[in-house]
Structure 1
Amino acid sequence: MKKSNPFRLKVWGANACFTRPEMKVERVSYDVMTPSAARGIFEAILWKPAIRWIITQIDVLKPIKWDSVRRNEVGAVMSPKSKCLYIEKERQQRAGLILKDVEYIIHAYFELTERAGDSDNVTKFEQMFLRRAKKGQCYHRPYLG
């Protein structure tokens, strides 16, 4: 497998939530960004079938702070057979424990996959990533959970 040079990406936000799977109903975040969330941020900037991002390290730059939030959610899904859904009857208030004022540096590199074509090479994708990151371009907006 051919792999790229290492990249470092600084990400920050007012809030973040990396939900722990054992607490789905009342969402509670992990203390730190998960590797899969970090990979999602890199893939938001550059995703190609020919590459796979590998996260090597996540640096936490700000102290871990928590915030408790409440929000209204709808407890039911409207089925194709039903004609309507009464939101007032299905409304549920859920609590969440989220991170606030977060900042990370994510360290990663990518490897070429078996789906890489003859014209695909590491340098090409390195330059694409750097160009897109510097311009703030992304395939979809990265988010912190």
Structure 2
Amino acid sequence: MSAEKLKSRTFRLKVWGENACFTRPEMKVERVSYDVITPSAARGILEAILWKPAIRWQITRIDVLKPIRWTSVRRNEVGAVMSPRANGLFVEEQRQQRAGLFLRDVAYIIHAFFEMTAQAGDDDNLRKFEEMFLRRSEKGQCFHRPYFGCREFAANFEPLSGRIEDLKPIDESRDLGFMLYDMDHSGEEPMPLWFRAKIQNGSVNVPLFNSTEVRR
């Protein structure tokens, strides 16, 4: 089967929410968000709606629908992970107060397609998963509630079809610098992947996973 036949149609999913934090990994103490949603966070939203070993999502473009606004918050976080051998975790002893610079009132259109993987079975095909994704997204079904970077920042979603002239990206262009693209799990240890992100007329074009624009 040709590579083109292993590629689904392009889907457009509108996502929005009150707050978001797509944390910059170079910030060690405070949580500081990227200016827009990262490709890995966008993929996570799609996988919350439909994930199967037989498919892999590829983000192609992100439209920014609302002006980029910020809010500064101080919040309590637990500074430890409970060990399986431990009897419990005393939260008051591990509580840490951290400052965060988050996004507020966000909305995006995620453009994406999926590819069939080597784990696809004989009964798996593009149409089956295309219809499954459309059905689940139209009904608001998901394996877990999708979120914008942090689980407390829930993401609403709806699929888009037909003409969407009323959903125009913001009239802005800027260079966002290097942004986290995703994590590569093909080796013994997960490795971060990066790309040079730019907002051009309100949209961020996302390179393909195996593109030379994606760097290790």
So what's the TM-score if we normalise by structure 1?
Answer: 0.92
Q: Is the CA contact 2:48–2:146 (under 8 Å) kept in the aligned structure 1? A: yes
**1:54 Cα deviation from its structure 2 partner:** 0.3
Does 1:85 pair with 2:81? no
* Residue type at the aligned position of 1:19: T
Question: For the residues of structure 2 that align with 1:83 and 1:18, how far apart are their CA atoms?
Answer: 30
Q: Is the CA contact 2:78–2:91 (under 8 Å) kept in the aligned structure 1? A: no
After superposition, residues 51-130 of structure 1 pair within 5 angstroms as 51-77=55-81, 80=85, 85=90, 87=92, 89-130=93-134
Cα RMSD (Å): 1.8
Change (3 A) 1:84 1:17: closer
Secondary structure of the residue that 2:146 maps to in structure 1? coil
* Residue type at the aligned position of 1:73: E
For residues 85-116 of structure 1, what are the alpha-carbon distances to aligned partners after superposition, in whole Å with 9 as ceiling and x for unaligned?
A: 371x5432110000000000000000000111
Q: Is the CA contact 1:78–1:85 (under 8 Å) kept in the aligned structure 2? A: no
Question: For the residues of structure 1 that align with 2:91 and 2:44, how far apart are their CA atoms?
Answer: 35
* Residue type at the aligned position of 1:37: A
Give the corresponding residue for 1:37.
41
Give the corresponding residue for 2:194.
none
So what's the TM-score if we normalise by structure 2?
Answer: 0.63
Does 1:142 pair with 2:153? no
For residues 37-96 of structure 1, what are the alpha-carbon distances to aligned partners after superposition, in whole Å with 9 as ceiling and x for unaligned?
A: 000011010000000000000000000000000012233455646887371x54321100
Change (3 A) 1:82 1:100: same
Change (3 A) 1:43 1:76: closer
Percent of aligned pairs with the same residue?
75
Question: For the residues of structure 2 that align with 1:144 and 1:40, how far apart are their CA atoms?
Answer: 9
Unaligned runs of 5+ in 1: none
Secondary structure of the residue that 2:45 maps to in structure 1? helix
| Greater helix fraction, Structure 1 or Structure 2 | 1
* Residue type at the aligned position of 2:24: R
* Residue type at the aligned position of 1:91: R
Change (3 A) 1:117 1:77: closer
Question: For the residues of structure 2 that align with 1:64 and 1:103, how far apart are their CA atoms?
Answer: 10
Secondary structure of the residue that 2:114 maps to in structure 1? strand
Give the total of aligned pairs.
144
Question: For the residues of structure 2 that align with 1:39 and 1:20, how far apart are their CA atoms?
Answer: 17
Question: For the residues of structure 1 that align with 2:45 and 2:64, how far apart are their CA atoms?
Answer: 16
Higher RCO structure, 1 or 2 (CA under 8 Å, sep 6+): 1
Give the corresponding residue for 2:16.
12
Change (3 A) 1:123 1:90: closer
